[in-house]
């Protein structure tokens, strides 16, 4: 690959990242937004986006840290996109191996399930398993269905067995509640353009009422409990990229200093909200490398609180 091809390949990877982070489309503000975020010149950013240059190593490191992707992948296209992509891909392969299927057989089962023979290819399955595909095609929920594992296990490594569909299940250990897992990836950084209340249910996670009462006593009602996946690093220290977050959807307004899921300017965020004595509402990232954002009076009138984060479910491999 010559230098021109390397630059174009880099721009493809960078734009793919920005597509999943809620940035404006190319030619419609992406260049300006990226330049402002990193305090860079628009000319330099345009050259990155158009495949005319590759950033210096310090800028590459900043981009990889901000967007939580591996710098080797961002720079050269080598290796998995991120640790999270590698983990999810590894579980897809683990489930495929348990079935005794080849990559081609999994692709065939996915094609049969979706009727899509154009997008789903063996190469796509291989890319997903190696953590080198930015987005799943088809949806990861289809992989879970075909492989007969729970979606929550593919995403987090927890809850391997496919969840029961009943809202409440009686077991030897007492009442179990099926908490809805939504497909939204709520951003702890740049913001993602998704509406939580219109989001679709993709699985349920069975949790005992006793556990909820002990660990999530602040929830307004068990019926209001939902789970979403946190995305980004701006809330590090409180919870991390890829953590499953418990959200009390019964909270629809700012009531105290707490972490909320909120819609600001059509973007979905997970941020701490705090009211200053002068009445200014701050949107705060718990990661100290991010500055608080002052929500101006006009934005305050359109700000929508979609829920309060009351806990997280974190898994880290050893």
User: Model confidence over 56-83: pLDDT tens digits?
Assistant: 999 999 998 888 889 999 999 998 888 8
Please give the Cα distance from 30 to 27 (Å, whole number). 7
- Looking at the domain assignment, is residue 109 inside a domain? yes
- Whether residue 258 is found in the same domain as residue 187: yes
> Which residues lie across from 262 on neighbouring strands?
269, 305
Please give the Cα distance from 151 to 140 (Å, whole number). 7
Judge whether residue 161 has pLDDT over 70. no
203 pLDDT band, cuts 50/70/90, is low
Pairing verdict, β 304-313 and 258-264: antiparallel
Helix ranges restricted to H, 130-189:
140-147, 151-156
Name, in order, each residue with C-beta under 8 angstroms of 289's C-beta and a sequence gap of 6 or more.
none
Q: How far is CA 194 from the centre of its chain?
A: 11
Please give the Cα distance from 116 to 138 (Å, whole number). 9
Residue ending a domain, among 76, 101, 126, is 76
- Whether residue 139 is found in the same domain as residue 105: yes
- What is the helix (H) or strand (E) element at residue 315, kind and residue range? none
Please give the Cα distance from 80 to 71 (Å, whole number). 10
- Whether residue 32 is found in the same domain as residue 118: no
Cis bond leading into 138, ω under 30°?
Answer: yes
| Total structural domains within the chain | 3
Which of 190-199, 201-210, 230-239 has the lowest average pLDDT?
190-199
- Looking at the domain assignment, is residue 189 inside a domain? yes
Name, in order, each residue with C-beta under 8 angstroms of 130's C-beta and a sequence gap of 6 or more.
80, 86, 89
Please give the Cα distance from 257 to 302 (Å, whole number). 19
- Whether residue 224 is found in the same domain as residue 106: no
User: What confidence score (pLDDT) does residue 198 get?
Assistant: 42
User: What confidence score (pLDDT) does residue 136 get?
Assistant: 62
**Host domain of residue 130:** 83-149
């Amino acid at each position: 690959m010559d230098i021109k091809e390397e630059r174009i390949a880099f721009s493809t990877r960078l734009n793919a990242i920005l597509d999943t982070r809620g940035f404006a489309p190319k030619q419609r503000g992406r260049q300006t937004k990226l330049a402002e975020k990193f305090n860079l010149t628009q000319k330099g950013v345009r050259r990155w986006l158009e495949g005319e240059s590759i950033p210096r190593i310090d800028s590459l490191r900043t981009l990889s840290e901000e967007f939580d992707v591996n710098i080797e992948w961002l720079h050269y296209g080598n290796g998995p996109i991120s640790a999270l992509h590698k983990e999810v891909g590894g579980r897809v392969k683990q489930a495929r191996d348990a079935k005794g299927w080849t990559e081609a057989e999994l692709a065939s089962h996915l094609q049969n399930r979706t009727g899509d023979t154009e997008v789903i290819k063996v190469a796509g399955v291989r890319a997903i398993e190696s953590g080198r595909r930015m987005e799943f095609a088809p949806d990861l929920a289809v992989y879970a269905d075909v492989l007969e594992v729970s979606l929550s296990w593919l995403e987090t490594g927890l809850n391997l067995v496919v969840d029961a569909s009943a809202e409440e299940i009686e077991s030897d250990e007492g009442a179990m509640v099926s908490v809805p897992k939504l497909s939204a990836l709520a951003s702890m950084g740049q913001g993602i353009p998704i509406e939580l209340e219109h989001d679709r249910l993709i699985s349920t996670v069975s949790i005992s009422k006793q556990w909820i009462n002990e660990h999530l006593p602040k929830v307004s009602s068990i019926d209001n409990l939902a789970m979403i996946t946190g995305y980004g690093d701006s809330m590090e220290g409180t919870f991390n990229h890829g953590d499953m977050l418990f959200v009390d959807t019964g909270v629809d307004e700012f009531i105290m200093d707490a972490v909320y899921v909120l819609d600001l300017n059509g973007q979905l965020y997970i941020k701490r909200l705090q009211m200053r004595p002068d009445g200014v509402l701050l949107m705060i990232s718990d990661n100290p490398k991010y500055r608080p954002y002052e929500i101006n009076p006009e934005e305050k009138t359109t700000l929508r609180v979609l829920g309060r984060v009351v806990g997280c479910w974190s898994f880290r491999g050893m």
